[in-house]
């Protein structure tokens, strides 16, 4: 099977079975890209996630685009990007037709209340997974804690924080 078909099927599956946005997709992306296909190493995956977070746009689409490009060039980026958004497009198109019929149903409310903890768990899993690979020494932990502090408590603009983290990384490493 060609790499483009594998890319399409992998990212279609990721888009189909992920709820809660890009951060919730990260564990599935990591499993598919690293464990199932062996297309990237953990370090390469972390680098692509970092680039995806820094560029404008949803992290799921950015990471699919970057990973597709890394694996199969420009055509790979197009295929993986389309594949990751196609399930959501199909599902939302179907939901649109039924939303008025079921919007007051207690079952739909129960469903969405039940799915919230799952989404939170997937996001927490992604954070732990990325942190385990990103924290290579005490310097990386200190950079993370410092940036977290100034963004969270001092309300520093995240773009400026990314620049500061980059400069700090260049100085420390």
Give residue-wise pLDDT tens across range 120-170: 888 888 788 878 878 889 999 999 999 999 999 999 998 899 899 989 989
Q: Give dist(CA 96, CA 98) in Å, integer.
A: 6
Q: Give dist(CA 86, CA 80) in Å, integer.
A: 10
pLDDT in tens, 56-88: 878 888 888 988 998 899 999 999 999 999 998
- Residue 1, pLDDT > 70, answer no
| Lowest mean pLDDT, pick from 19-28, 37-46, 127-136, 140-149 | 19-28
């Amino acid at each position: 099977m060609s790499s483009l078909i594998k890319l399409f099927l992998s990212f279609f599956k990721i888009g189909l079975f992920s709820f809660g946005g890009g951060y919730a997709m990260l564990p599935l992306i990591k499993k598919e890209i690293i464990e199932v296909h062996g297309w990237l190493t953990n370090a390469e995956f972390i680098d692509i996630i970092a680039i995806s977070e820094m560029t404008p746009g949803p992290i799921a689409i950015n990471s699919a685009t970057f990973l597709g490009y890394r694996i199969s060039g420009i055509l790979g980026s197009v295929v993986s990007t389309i594949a990751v958004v196609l399930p959501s497009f199909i599902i939302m198109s179907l939901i649109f037709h039924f939303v008025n019929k079921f919007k007051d149903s207690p079952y739909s409310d129960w469903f969405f209340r039940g799915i919230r903890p799952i989404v939170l768990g997937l996001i927490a899993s992604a954070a732990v997974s990325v942190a385990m690979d990103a924290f290579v020494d005490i310097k990386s932990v200190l950079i993370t804690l410092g940036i977290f502090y100034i963004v969270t408590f001092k309300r520093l603009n995240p773009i400026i924080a990314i620049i500061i983290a980059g400069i700090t990384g260049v100085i420390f490493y």
